[in-house]
Amino acid sequence: MKIKFSKMTGSGNDFILIDLFNQQLPEDDLPNFAKKLCHRSLSLGADGLILIEKSDIADFKWRFYNSDGSEAEMCGNGARCAARFAYMNGIAGKKMAFETVAGIISAEILDNEVKVALTSPKDMKRNITIDLEDITIDADFINTGVPHTVVFVNELEECRIEEIGRKIRFHKLFEPAGTNVNFVEEMSSDSIKIRTYERGVEGETLACGTGAVASAIFQFLKGGEVSPVKVLVRSGEKLKVYISKNNSKIDKVFLQGTTRLICEGTLDKEAWDYN
């Protein structure tokens, strides 16, 4: 059995996208299926798998799986790729809405850029103290579709991203779901650069859309509430995060950046049927 797929990247996050409007998957164990397809040495390889399905309340519905097989509520860069994929394949128009576990996401196609309106952030916590074995970290926390911890630093390149990120990701403060971890250096009042340790990938990635949004929100609050906030991610791309407030509360958040179609083709059974 062969499965049609597309491979896309959004700011350095790469995804396998499969349209289930006109085909079916041969596997019921989707976490294991995703984990095998996303393995970079043994299969096609990606940060995540996105399944596009029919919806009764929106243009389409997605299921998103991280490379470790875990299902995620939301992924900002994945959402931008899914939106452009739907537009290119005639599933939706330039303006669309689609279902995610985090809620209904709206998106707009702007040539090769995509602007998505994320669900309203929640569970904000400022000035958290995180005690690790050899260091104490001051951080902020917010859920922008998935949980994110944001740590402002003076020298981003000197951070122990993998080591400290992993310790914070599994810290008891964030049990049981865990957290993504963003290390942020302020460049100006409306500009930051970040490096992200991603839950589910269990390592640093070249970009994280919801992490860019989480980091931009705290920069927005501390930097004079200037919007959009420009976010330089590890891949070298600058994302734009538009933020608005209503009655002193963060109300609407938009993430904008480029997407690229890398390839299209068919997956052979041997891509997922291995030990």
CB atoms closer than 10 angstroms to residue 262: 11
Contact 140, 149 (CB under 8 A): yes
Place of tokens 């859920």: 143
Contact 209, 75 (CB under 8 A): yes
| List of residues 6+ apart from 63 with CB closer than 8 A | 30, 50, 51, 53, 71
CB atoms closer than 10 angstroms to residue 135: 10
> Which helix (H) or strand (E) segment is 65 a member of?
strand 60-66
CA–CA separation, 17 vs 7, rounded Å? 6
Catalytic residues, by residue number, are 75, 208
Asked if residue 176 has a cis previous peptide bond (ω within 30° of 0), the answer is yes
Can you read off the two tokens belonging to residue 19? 């349209």
| List of residues 6+ apart from 245 with CB closer than 8 A | 225, 251
| Residue 161 φ/ψ, nearest 5 degrees | -60, -50
